[in-house]
Structure 1
Amino acid sequence: MSDTAQVSSLPLPPMQYVTLFSEDNIKRGRTPKPPPPITDGYSMFGNPFHNDDPVIRPLESQNIRRLYPNNYDHRRELKKLNHSITASFLDLVDICIRNPESEMRAAKIDDLTLLFIHMHHLVNEFRPHQARETLRVMMEQQKRQRLEIAERFRRHYDKACELVQQAVNSIPEPVESNIKLLIDVERVQPSDGRVANQTPEESCSEEDRLMCQIIDSL
């Protein structure tokens, strides 16, 4: 049998069971295995429960006598229960003052217990609505936070665009020189390779050639 199986099979007190989840045991894989999922019924606070039970069990399933009809207004019934509890408590105080050993004292305590059970049941019936309302408030808060973050990003983006535009506008314009080179590039550099390969005689114009012949004949 492995160390894990031996550890998980030992009945240990709660605090000693917690000490088994130390860093050394976690690294070595010696922590107890989780309990298997419950497929049948279980007991919680001394009351039996089943997996297929509704979230809010009706009073009849708990063998409790119902004091209000099936179709009722929660607010109205809670107010009535509050008044009944107050009146029953005052009656109990009067009984305890007049005759503490009377049997009416136990009966009045049972009445108060039944009234508190009904009030607790009505409050629990609001739990699903409370959960939905809590979830709605959380989602609205998250939405508001995301919108605020998006708005801050937009302001930072606009500020960055403004700074970039200011930097671009602050760049000085290039100064044009007043001195211009009056050089005919086409006359300095030949336009094609044929002019570069011409001899001095071929590159002279007809008038220049005639002037040269006249001067040679003199």
Structure 2
Amino acid sequence: MATATYPPPPPFYRLYKDYLQNPKSAPEPPPPIEGTYVCFGGNYTTDDVLPSLEDQGVRQLYPKGPNIGNFCILLIDVMNCKMEFVLACFVHGCFLVVDFKKELRSLNRELQLHILELADVLVERPSQYARQVEEISLIFKNLHHLLNSLRPHQARATLIHILELQIQRRKEALEDIKRASLSWGIFTPENVEECMSLSPETKDIPLRILIRRREEARRLLKESLGTLDGQ
């Protein structure tokens, strides 16, 4: 029985023409979704804002304030040479500062305590474990919300670090090329214009060697820049 290597295309391909001949033959992409939408059974919104715990119906265990994702500040303690993430919120006319590190440690200790209590409850009162499980779930939700509020700052800091590394690599590559070109006698303040105006047909052997070195330096420069662009 003979079979085709690949199945035939679906019949509706005849409804469309070559895109290069008639770009309008292809259907337009669907419009962007605005507002709320459902994905895998969950309701989501297109607004890129971290919802508060109260909006999600979860009790907040750390100091309350506006949306913490919009008030993330990085303070640098020069005296102690350390960095602290803090939350600056204006609540009832007073300036409230929430230390992220302190709150995360406090929630972590509280989580450990509730886990130990859950172990005791499972041994002594197995029927009363549900309350401890709810408390542990509440602590986890608060921990995740605090960590998610730091994601924008983490993304900015990571991007800054990547850009700084790229700039440093480019500077190092350029310095290496400059040192190599000077050591080979390719480009110097005295002969740079002369080197650029040289022709490969020259009969002067030193100049032909100079041209070959110049072309090699250009090739190395092109490879280095291509490597840096790919990083």
Q: Scaled by the length of structure 1, what TM-score is found?
A: 0.57
Partner of 1:37: 32
Contact 2:107-2:139 at 8 Å conserved across structures: yes
Q: Which has the larger radius of gyration?
A: 1
Q: Distance in 2 between matches of 1:107 and 1:127?
A: 31
Aligned to 1:115, the other structure's residue is in SS state: helix
Q: Distance in 2 between matches of 1:5 and 1:114?
A: 56
Partner of 1:115: 139
Return the offset for 1:53.
5.1
Contact 1:5-1:32 at 8 Å conserved across structures: no
Aligned to 2:55, the other structure's residue is in SS state: helix
**90 and 32 in structure 1: CA distance in 2 versus 1, 3 angstrom threshold:** farther
Q: Out of 34, 41, 54, which is 1:60 matched to? A: 54
Task: Indicate whether 1:158 and 2:167 are aligned.
Answer: no
Return the offset for 1:75.
0.7
Contact 2:181-2:187 at 8 Å conserved across structures: no
**32 and 108 in structure 1: CA distance in 2 versus 1, 3 angstrom threshold:** farther
Contact 1:42-1:50 at 8 Å conserved across structures: yes
Q: Distance in 1 between matches of 2:14 and 2:115?
A: 55
Task: Indicate whether 1:105 and 2:129 are aligned.
Answer: yes
Partner of 1:48: 43
Q: Percent identity?
A: 34
Q: Distance in 1 between matches of 2:119 and 2:27?
A: 53
Equivalent residues in 2 for 1:158-197 (5 A)?
Answer: 158-161=182-185, 167=206
**64 and 158 in structure 1: CA distance in 2 versus 1, 3 angstrom threshold:** same
- Stretches of structure 1 that go unaligned for 5 or more consecutive residues are 7-25, 169-218
Contact 1:41-1:50 at 8 Å conserved across structures: yes
Letter in 1 for 2:119: V
Q: Distance in 2 between matches of 1:32 and 1:93?
A: 60
- Stretches of structure 2 that go unaligned for 5 or more consecutive residues are 1-10, 65-95, 192-205, 208-231
Residue by residue over 1:66-125, the C-alpha shift from the partner in whole angstroms, topping out at 9 and shown as x without a partner, is 11112421111101100110000011111111232x1x2001000000000000000111
Return the offset for 1:129.
1.1
Q: Distance in 2 between matches of 1:144 and 1:37?
A: 39
Aligned to 1:133, the other structure's residue is in SS state: helix
Return the offset for 1:141.
0.8
Q: Distance in 2 between matches of 1:75 and 1:137?
A: 22
Q: Distance in 2 between matches of 1:44 and 1:134?
A: 29
CA RMSD of aligned residues (A): 3.5
Task: Indicate whether 1:77 and 2:98 are aligned.
Answer: no
Q: Distance in 2 between matches of 1:143 and 1:122?
A: 33
Task: Indicate whether 1:86 and 2:81 are aligned.
Answer: no
Return the offset for 1:44.
3.9
**84 and 150 in structure 1: CA distance in 2 versus 1, 3 angstrom threshold:** same
Partner of 1:146: 170
Task: Indicate whether 1:3 and 2:12 are aligned.
Answer: yes
Aligned to 2:184, the other structure's residue is in SS state: helix
Q: Distance in 2 between matches of 1:153 and 1:129?
A: 36
Q: Distance in 2 between matches of 1:48 and 1:5?
A: 38
Contact 1:41-1:48 at 8 Å conserved across structures: yes
Contact 2:122-2:129 at 8 Å conserved across structures: yes
Q: Out of 155, 175, 184, which is 1:131 matched to? A: 155
